[in-house]
Structure 1
Amino acid sequence: MIEQLKQSMYQIHKNLKLYLESVFFLRMLRVLIALPLLSYLFLQILNVTGLSSITENTIFEVLRHPVALVVLLVLGLTSIFFIYYEQAYYFMLAHLQDTQEPYRLKTIIQKLNNKARYIINIQSVVFLIYFILILPIASIGMSPGLASNLYIPHFITDELLKFNGGWLIYFGVFALIIYLSLRLIFVVPYFVVEKEATILQAVKKSWQHTRKKSITNILYLGIIVGLYALAIGTLTGVLLIPLMIIERILPVAAPVVAGITLTFLQIVLFFSFGLLQGVFANVLYRLAYNRTGAPSAIKRDTKSFFFRPWSKILYPILAIVFISTVVGNTVSLTKILYQPTTQIIAHRGYMAEGVENTIGSLRAAKTAKADFVEMDIQQTKDQQFVVIHDANLGRLANRPERIQDLTLAQLQEIQVSAGGHSDFIPSFEDYLAVAKEIDMKLVVELKLHGDESDDMEEKFVEILQKADVTKEYIVQSLDETTVARVKELDPEIKTGYLVALNIGNLPKTSADMVVIEEFSLNQRLMEQARDQGKGIMVWTVNQENLVRRAFGLNVDGIITNEPSKAFAIRETFDQERTLAQRVQELLE
């Protein structure tokens, strides 16, 4: 492995300009062609279905619409093609360099086109599953750009890990995916390099070649990623040193230096990831074909690899882009960021200090200085309201009963436990009384199990009105009809439409706020919400970088398991942060 790595680094070093141009070419292909085309196809799906976005509630409308289904198929195949070209390019380049075959960009594209015919059949399903589920882990840092943002939303893993044995399922599946990744790690080089190899044949060959080598492969790949991270971390630190010095001795020049530093770091990260892809492709190619000899002399076509007549135009354009980026970064780093007005909402109370949705976790959230507490209520068998999230008592009380099958009195006698804490299930009215006592506002989520009374919303609104909290509390639900009914009964109540997954524009809703999972949050949705006069709340935001991102966008509220940490971040969000610290945060 060490020999293959040395040979690969030699190839990259000898052809550094070629690889830098390749990185630039592939990124431009993605930005100028792939993403616009995929966006266009997605917008056509929204147009033919009349939807503003695709959520968990509207996905079946897409699947039931013949035209939308066809466009969705085209979008999927287009995605496969772009992912294939972006990933296969470096393997073909490594192969041509190794075999000393003369090549140009056109040569590589033609060879990749010849293999693309194997994708236009039923095997494309195998290819799609492979890239989405396997490659982002198998290639560790070499994942294709179009798939690099694919991950399981945090709320799914958070909920899974709360169940008994959930962690075992999670890590078991994760271990299985890693194992499959390592066994199938040579699929792409075998498929790309061998002229008549089908995807299934490449899968079979990789499986055979990696037998009893999984542990060795993961160690080797781990070494490469570790060295890469060390190199990038060191280079980042070195580039930040001049800025830290300038901030102390010549503060007036620091903003411009900060803008230049950030721009250089962005360029470094832009190209370094592509170079890492090149290193991985070379190493995997050599391991797949047991190439241990000295690197071959490179034979390239006498004509330029890339079309040079554009160079006279390209370089001035790049210079203008660089200067514009420096100016933009300088403005971004030096603009005054006021402390965000984002409200901190403790998810089911403060679960680190009490059982979720109990009086104990409610009081703990007050101590943690949360602005609101998000809590869940359901209707009981006797049409009362109880504070609990799950539809049954299995997770918190180790009992099989469903909430809808028990009366409020029965539920209040049941002890629930989690995280070393124990408490009792409270009624909504008791919970509300304590919230008023400690001056804690609530975000009340109405959870539906299907057996609610016909006047459920009326009963609920009456409780809020009786407690005189209709102007202070927020009411949310996954069911848009329910929040619309609550708003109709009392227009003073601020309502939120809860969406677990949103792809596209801001969902259409009559609610005052859209409550989305952090996976779906972006600047475009924030702008659309402001234009429509609606608020945005985000759940469940726990990681520090995600909390800072939400504060930076100044969303209306973040629902978090860590209200104490979020409060500390908000309090110091723009206090005493050096320009060097701001540069580091923008790079995260």
Structure 2
Amino acid sequence: MMNEKIRVWTYFKHNTKDFARHWGAYFLLISVTNLVVGLAIIPLLTFGAQQVLRLGKVPYVTLTNLGQIVTTKPVTALWLLLIGLLLLLFVYWQFAFLLLGIQNIHRQTRLSFRQLARVTLRKTRRLTPTTIVILIAYFVLVFPFSSIVFKTSLLAKLTIPDFIIDYIFGHWYLTVLIIVLYLLGTWLAIRLLPLLPALILNDQPPRATVVRSWRATRGQAWRTLWAVLLIVIPVLMLSILLVAGLYAFQTYLDQQWQQWALLGATINLGFLQVAMLLITVFFTVMLYQLATSQAETFHLIGNQDRIVQAPKQRRTLLFRISAFALILVIISGTSLFYHDYLTGALTTQPLTISHRGVDDGNGVQNTIPALLATAKEKPDYVEMDLHETKDHQFVVMHDENLKALTGKDATPHQLTLAEITQLTARENGHAAKVASFDQYLAAAEKVNQKLLVEIKTTSQDSPQMMDRFIKRYAQRLLVDRDQVHSLDYRVVKTLRQRVPKLKTFFILPYTLVFPETPASGYTLETTTLSSTVTDQAHAHHQAIYAWTVNDPDDMQKMTFMDADGIITDQLGTLKATLREMNDHPTYADQLLDYLNGYSTEDNSPF
């Protein structure tokens, strides 16, 4: 085991020296590839999907209507499937191009970008349906770890929404299951690390490659894990030291050289951006080389060491000059962005919205005592939920079954409003009567608290439910300047048609393509929310509310993404976070805020 660690350490030092010698070429390869993906491929695929939806007269695509699209719009579904397959093809091309490019630089075969592209395209001839299935299975199996090992913005939206994660960790047996699956996925990722380069570089059939990879890596997981940790730990430590050093230096400028603090912070942000890019490039190169070397060691691909040629100093120098030029372009091109960020020009004040009318468990959700307690903190809106009852009234309740809060195993449609409002709801050590919407609305009006009303729908709703709601409450909500949102697109469409002055938002738990609906805006789960989405919404004169945001770092991130409202269970934390952001924090603190808010791939100015 000790000899294995020594060999791995020797290999790590060798590849680190290689990176130091050819960092310019690696930086250009990965940066240019990411630029092409971010500025050309992703917009092209997005535009194609939007045109398909427009021609098929499908206003949106999310988790809740995929089945409906397949059954009612099969042609549209087929075109979307083709775009999905094209996405996989681009993912394959990106991995193949980077893999071949890194090997080209490492082995000094001196292929140009054009020649690399041609070789990559030739690899497409081996991309059979079997290979596609294997690639999909590969990413599904190693999902917990694959985004670290083989990161690509093309697959950035293939993430698990936070509300699903919260649901899982709210049930101990699901928590145990997900931990086991995560550990299994991590082990598979380590075990199958050489599979991807073997599929791309090997000339054998894909099934045979998988079988050979599985057999060859038997008993080698610990060695591969040690090699991966040898890359991850130095990268993590370097990142921490970099941020800590810049923070300390900027703190010194803030305190001792205030007249130079803004200029210093602008330069430090540019340096931080470039340094993080270089660290990312190093991390990517080391992992790709590790995967390839593993494939060679296990004889999954031929060892190509024989083709190594002596590096030409002139070529190496040219790559370094080009990399320096690109770095200068990045710094100069983003300096105005950094200046605006540091002076607060990019930060807007989102609306504060209390989720289900509570703040940090100060009462029972969706009850009047919790509403009155939370209203004292003066949120812009209190978000609450309502269901139709058996006698076609409206009760304030989130769940489709009353058992969790009241102990009564029944749905709102099985009881009359009078029966439901006799029940006592218990949560967070508090107890309160279940309220009718009339009671809740009257209580809100009494303390001048605006509401964001979520209309819950089920298959048991009466056909006239929306007619009754509009007749009873539409004008009253308009006078109170309340708003409405719903997961049901029919509700949104009906309200926008019949009460156009009432602001009505469409709730989307997962955003694949920006929707084209008459909604006043969108309530989006934070996992797939990005500055690109908010920019598109604002271009359509629509607003974006982010839900459910309970962590201060995520609150800052949503603010930087220009979200118009933030729905939270932690209203006090949200208000405190926004106050700190508006109280002109030190430039040193803004460096850390930048990492939380703008350091994701989608929000980076580069």
> How would you bin the TM-score normalised by the shorter chain?
0.7 to 0.9
1:386 aligns with 2:395: yes
| Residue-by-residue CA offset, 1:402-431 (whole Å, 9 max, x unaligned) | 332222233334454555555543322233
Deviates more, 1:397-406 or 1:563-572: 397-406
Report the counterpart of residue 601 of structure 2 in structure 1: none
The letter for the 2-side match of 1:16 is A
The letter for the 2-side match of 1:568 is A
Report the counterpart of residue 483 of structure 1 in structure 2: 492
Report the counterpart of residue 516 of structure 2 in structure 1: 507
CA-CA distance at 1:13 after TM superposition = 1.6
Q: 2:485 aligns to what SS in structure 1? A: strand
**Which among 415, 424, 427 is matched to residue 406 of structure 1?**
415
Instruction: List aligned pairs for 1:66-465, cutoff 5 A.
Output: 68-69=76-77, 71-88=79-96, 102=109, 104=111, 113=121, 115-131=123-139, 134=142, 137-138=145-146, 140-148=148-156, 150-162=158-170, 165-196=173-204, 198=206, 200-211=207-218, 218=225, 221-222=228-229, 224-287=231-294, 290=297, 299-300=308-309, 319-336=328-345, 340-350=349-359, 352-366=361-375, 369-393=378-402, 395-396=404-405, 400-418=409-427, 422-464=431-473
CA-CA distance at 1:60 after TM superposition = 5.5
Tell me the distance in 1 between the aligned counterparts of 2:254 and 2:167: 45
8 Å CA contact retained: 2:445, 2:480: no
**Which among 61, 66, 74 is matched to residue 54 of structure 1?**
61
Deviates more, 1:103-112 or 1:499-508: 103-112
8 Å CA contact retained: 2:386, 2:453: yes
* CA spacing shift, 1:78–1:13, aligned 2, 3 Å: farther
* CA spacing shift, 1:6–1:353, aligned 2, 3 Å: farther
1:562 aligns with 2:573: no
Deviates more, 1:147-156 or 1:169-178: 169-178
CA-CA distance at 1:442 after TM superposition = 1.7
CA-CA distance at 1:17 after TM superposition = 4.2
Report the counterpart of residue 582 of structure 2 in structure 1: 574
Q: 2:95 aligns to what SS in structure 1? A: helix
* CA spacing shift, 1:222–1:419, aligned 2, 3 Å: farther
8 Å CA contact retained: 1:49, 1:61: no
The letter for the 2-side match of 1:26 is I
The letter for the 2-side match of 1:152 is I
CA-CA distance at 1:79 after TM superposition = 2.8
Deviates more, 1:114-123 or 1:412-421: 412-421
Tell me the distance in 1 between the aligned counterparts of 2:189 and 2:427: 35
Percent identity (aligned): 22
8 Å CA contact retained: 1:536, 1:556: yes
Tell me the distance in 2 between the aligned counterparts of 1:446 and 1:512: 15
Tell me the distance in 1 between the aligned counterparts of 2:556 and 2:243: 21
Deviates more, 1:493-502 or 1:332-341: 332-341
1:16 aligns with 2:43: no
* CA spacing shift, 1:527–1:83, aligned 2, 3 Å: closer
The letter for the 1-side match of 2:565 is G
Tell me the distance in 2 between the aligned counterparts of 1:224 and 1:316: 28
Tell me the distance in 2 between the aligned counterparts of 1:337 and 1:95: 41
Report the counterpart of residue 599 of structure 2 in structure 1: none
Report the counterpart of residue 530 of structure 2 in structure 1: 522
8 Å CA contact retained: 2:357, 2:374: no
Report the counterpart of residue 495 of structure 1 in structure 2: 504
8 Å CA contact retained: 2:348, 2:560: no
* CA spacing shift, 1:380–1:502, aligned 2, 3 Å: same
Tell me the distance in 2 between the aligned counterparts of 1:197 and 1:418: 58
The letter for the 2-side match of 1:358 is T
8 Å CA contact retained: 2:19, 2:282: no
CA-CA distance at 1:124 after TM superposition = 0.5
CA-CA distance at 1:213 after TM superposition = 5.7
Tell me the distance in 2 between the aligned counterparts of 1:488 and 1:37: 37
Tell me the distance in 1 between the aligned counterparts of 2:371 and 2:378: 11
Tell me the distance in 2 between the aligned counterparts of 1:367 and 1:214: 57
Report the counterpart of residue 546 of structure 1 in structure 2: 554
8 Å CA contact retained: 2:191, 2:224: no
Report the counterpart of residue 29 of structure 1 in structure 2: 33
Tell me the distance in 1 between the aligned counterparts of 2:174 and 2:417: 29
Q: 1:355 aligns to what SS in structure 2? A: coil
| Residue-by-residue CA offset, 1:308-364 (whole Å, 9 max, x unaligned) | 989988865653443232343234323456771523333453363333323454345
* CA spacing shift, 1:129–1:118, aligned 2, 3 Å: same
Tell me the distance in 2 between the aligned counterparts of 1:30 and 1:172: 34
Q: 2:585 aligns to what SS in structure 1? A: coil
Q: CA RMSD in A?
A: 3.9
CA-CA distance at 1:71 after TM superposition = 4.5
* CA spacing shift, 1:32–1:378, aligned 2, 3 Å: same
Q: 1:453 aligns to what SS in structure 2? A: coil
Structure 1 segments of 4+ aligned residues over 6 angstroms from their partners: 93-98, 295-298, 301-315, 465-469
CA-CA distance at 1:116 after TM superposition = 3.6
| Residue-by-residue CA offset, 1:224-250 (whole Å, 9 max, x unaligned) | 423321111102222343333222232
TM-score, scaled to structure 1: 0.84
Report the counterpart of residue 301 of structure 2 in structure 1: none
Tell me the distance in 2 between the aligned counterparts of 1:253 and 1:228: 31
CA-CA distance at 1:551 after TM superposition = 2.4
8 Å CA contact retained: 1:377, 1:444: yes
Tell me the distance in 2 between the aligned counterparts of 1:389 and 1:479: 14
| Residue-by-residue CA offset, 1:190-212 (whole Å, 9 max, x unaligned) | 334533252x3343344334546
The letter for the 1-side match of 2:246 is L
Q: 2:390 aligns to what SS in structure 1? A: coil
| Residue-by-residue CA offset, 1:457-478 (whole Å, 9 max, x unaligned) | 3433455369677433212222
* CA spacing shift, 1:104–1:12, aligned 2, 3 Å: farther
Deviates more, 1:416-425 or 1:1-10: 416-425
* CA spacing shift, 1:355–1:179, aligned 2, 3 Å: farther
Q: 1:117 aligns to what SS in structure 2? A: helix
* CA spacing shift, 1:333–1:506, aligned 2, 3 Å: farther
Deviates more, 1:262-271 or 1:157-166: 157-166
| Residue-by-residue CA offset, 1:9-34 (whole Å, 9 max, x unaligned) | 32232342434422322331232257
Corresponding pairs, count: 582
Tell me the distance in 2 between the aligned counterparts of 1:559 and 1:372: 9
The letter for the 2-side match of 1:24 is L
Tell me the distance in 2 between the aligned counterparts of 1:378 and 1:39: 40
* CA spacing shift, 1:164–1:110, aligned 2, 3 Å: same
Deviates more, 1:391-400 or 1:88-97: 88-97
